[in-house]
A and B are shown apart, each in its own frame.
Chain A
Amino acid sequence: MSRSSGRTPVLTPYLQVAPLALIMLAMVGIPIVTVVLLSFWQSDGIAIYPEFTWDNYRLVLTSPVTLTLFLATLKYAAITLVATVLIGFTCSYFLVFHVRNLKWQIGLFLLCTIPFWTSNVIRMVSWIPFLGREGVFNQALMAAGLIDRPLDILLYSDFAVVLTYIHLFTLFMIVPVFNSMAKINPSLIEAARDAGASGWQILWTVIVPLSRTGIALGSIFVVTLVMGDFFVVRVMSGGQSASVVSAMKNQIDQLFYPEASAMAVLLIVVVLMMVSAILRIVDIRSELAR
């Protein structure tokens, strides 16, 4: 203490945060500032003029397409969130409370991560031969005599989009939920049982409330990932559906950068509002310190 308070006691903490601060500034700060700046510039589809205008926002906020896009994206996010919470909670519950052996726990946990050893694109594209009109699933159903012509809803549909989201993002739910569940002291469950609680009562009154930090963290991951996606929507809906970012991508392709920027700023605002709503329900900071 006496040594470090020698020459530059005031500067030391700033120097310590400097590397991260610089990286954040370069990788997050500058791009966002650029986007925000760009959203106020003018363009005519050929060139961009650095002159202030509200036109981009006026266009984005008054267009009925914007609302449709946001609603569609929010719908994806909501369905994916519900599904990943259910799957993530169930998997974690199984791993923590039924697989008591630590070796098995770690083994099964790694098993959950195996799909993540390949790239997102491969995992996503691998659904296509499975779900397609001539795909494995349709053929199996037809062979079983359950249907007499292939189901079109399986691929290039909202169903395929959501299914892919769930497949890609469930692990982001499992990890934090598992983490907070594993921290639950087993004697709490015994205490609940001692008080006469049934299995369901223990689940609702003890396990779910004590897992909520993990659920909140996982929800932040899943929501931000879905809200920011365009690739899955584009590939898995076969171009039939659009999300906010896929629309943005179209605008960029057509060189309407300022308009895309305004949309991006709007998306950032919406996502921030969603995240802060989650943080308002669960105080992650204090719960993590617990």
Chain B
Amino acid sequence: MSESRIDIRGVSKLYGPVRAVNNVDLVIEGGSYCCMIGPSGCGKTTLLRMIAGHEAPSAGTILIGGEDVTHARTGSRGTALMFQNYALFPHLSLTDNVAFSLRVKGVATAERRMRAREMLDRVQLGHLAERLPSELSGGQQQRVALARALITNPKVLLLDEPLSALDEFLRLRMRVELKRLQNELGITFIHVTHTQPEAIALADQVVVMDHGLIEQAASPREIYNHPHSPYVARFMGGQNVLSGKVESVAGTGAVVVAPGGMAWDLPEAPGVQPGQEVRFSVRRDRIRVVPDEPARNGVSGRVINTEYQGTFVKLALETGSGEEFIITMGDEAWFARPIRVGETVHAAWEPGMSHFLQGSNNSVGTPLED
């Protein structure tokens, strides 16, 4: 067993009557990049903090490298946490910040300062070693936080929304750097985020959470192409979620009919019964705009918004389902025949594109309002 593999077994965390994390089971392979994603209050940060040892689980066990660390002391379980606001010590120079964990372990001054310098060089901040954190930019502070976390040689690096305080440009640069660093070190990274592109771009494994539960844990491609529930489809984006009643079942497939009468073919919908209300998703970029109303596997609606996005154009339709139906089309196709707001548009897709959503979580993926 890899020494940086993480096993989370039946872990719950209760704050009074609130279940912040609810009986979660998860395996994170050693040396992988795992992104936990979900809206605020979904329990992702609590789960991260339990792995780090800053919170004790109310129930369940956490294993790192096969060793039970559920109640092991923070700082002695092979994890290092990088805090959202970096939490650099304002009274210490960068060198002393990075050397902090060596200092509390009793490493001699000269040696710990030398090792801290090496680590600062590694994040390209060697020339600022004697500055105070307040004299640095946000991006530089983040590198210091990273250096401080890595100097302990952790088996697992935990990152709590590491990029959220940076501007767009720096965020993209640091994203690349995080991935490079993870490849180089070969240790497990667990990265909490609420930004979908970040998770998709970085992760080997994406863990989508909601209300203290894991909705889906899979590779980014799997999550994106085969979302488990309407919530995952909506939250990860790029999908339209449609619903209707099952009309007939044939083999593993089914035919679903919309309230308006349109029939949709679901190639894979195991276990559904005729008459059952089901939901499925269709990728926005797999939908064509067609001149006439299609007989099957399509929708019609009034255009309520168009958005030019450079390489594609985003078209929002009002179809009467209560949820916007979004089509992304190539910019050339759109400019060849621009579509105005208010026009009625017909859309169609191949039957194989409809993906049945097994999960029942139908929330829209926005944070709870309490």
Q: Which A residues are closer than 8 A to B by beta carbons?
A: 185, 187-188, 190-198, 201, 205-206, 209-210, 290
Contact = CB atoms under 8 A, between A and B. Distances in A.
10 contacts: A187-B83, A187-B84, A187-B85, A191-B81, A191-B88, A193-B54, A194-B53, A194-B74, A194-B80, A205-B89
A151 B216 CA distance: 76
A187 B101 CA distance: 15
B15 to A, nearest CB: 13
Given A187-B87, A190-B87, A205 B104 contact: yes
B148 interface: yes
Contacts of B90: 188, 210, 290
A187 B160 CA distance: 12
B75 interface: yes
B346 interface: no
B100 interface: yes
Contacts of A191: 81, 83, 87-89, 148
B152 A195 contact: yes
A72 B76 CA distance: 51
B52 interface: yes
Contacts of A194: 52-54, 74-75, 79-81
Given A185-B85, A194-B74, 16 more contacts: A188-B87, A188-B89, A190-B83, A191-B83, A192-B89, A192-B100, A193-B54, A193-B75, A194-B75, A195-B80, A195-B104, A196-B101, A205-B100, A206-B89, A209-B91, A290-B134
A192 B89 CA distance: 9
B337 interface: no
A144 B125 CA distance: 67
Contacts of A195: 75, 80, 100-101, 104, 148, 152
B103 interface: yes
A190 B52 CA distance: 10
Contacts of B52: 194
Contacts, number: 63
B105 interface: yes
The 8 lowest CB-CB distance pairs between A and B, nearest first, are A196-B75, A195-B101, A191-B87, A187-B87, A197-B104, A209-B91, A194-B81, A201-B104
Contacts of A193: 54, 74-75
Interface in B119-148: 134, 148
A185 B91 CA distance: 12
Contacts of A188: 87, 89-90
A195 B151 CA distance: 10
Interface string B36-59: 000000000000000011100000
B53 to A, nearest CB: 8
A193 B79 CA distance: 12
Contact of B105 (A190, A196, A209): A196
Main secondary structure on A side of the interface with B: helix
Contacts of B100: 192, 195, 197, 205
Kindly state the interface size class of chain B when it binds its partner. Answer: 20 to 34
A175 B198 CA distance: 45
Interface string B276-296: 000000000000000000000
A192 to B, nearest CB: 7
A193 B152 CA distance: 13
Interface in B98-116: 100-101, 103-105
A193 B55 CA distance: 12
By CB atoms of chain A within 10 A, which of B75, B76, B84, B134 has the most?
A: B75
A224 B95 CA distance: 38
Most A CB within 10 A of own CB, among B85, B91, B134: B91
Given A195-B101, A195-B148, A210 B91 contact: yes
A193 B53 CA distance: 10
A100 to B, nearest CB: 13
B74 A198 contact: no
Interface core residue of B52, B90, B148 (most chain A CB under 10 Å)? B90
A220 B100 CA distance: 31
A193 B134 CA distance: 22
A185 B87 contact: yes
Contacts of B84: 187
A190 B81 CA distance: 9
Contacts of A210: 90-91
Interface string B12-37: 00000000000000000000000000
A85 B91 CA distance: 20
A185 B81 CA distance: 16
Q: Which of A185, A196, A198 has the most CB of B within 10 A?
A: A196
A193 B104 CA distance: 10
A196 B104 contact: yes
Nearest to A193: B74
Contacts of A290: 90, 134
Contacts of B88: 191
Contact of A196 (B54, B76, B89, B91): B76
A190 B87 CA distance: 9
Contacts of A190: 54, 81, 83, 87
A290 to B, nearest CB: 7
Contacts of B81: 190-191, 194
Report which residue of B76, B81, B101, B104 has the largest number of chain A beta carbons within 10 angstroms of its beta carbon: B104
Contacts of A192: 89, 100, 104
Contacts of B87: 185, 187-188, 190-191
Contact of A197 (B53, B75, B91, B148): B75
B109 to A, nearest CB: 13
Contacts of B76: 196
A187 B54 CA distance: 11
Nearest to A206: B89
A102 to B, nearest CB: 18
A195 B101 CA distance: 5
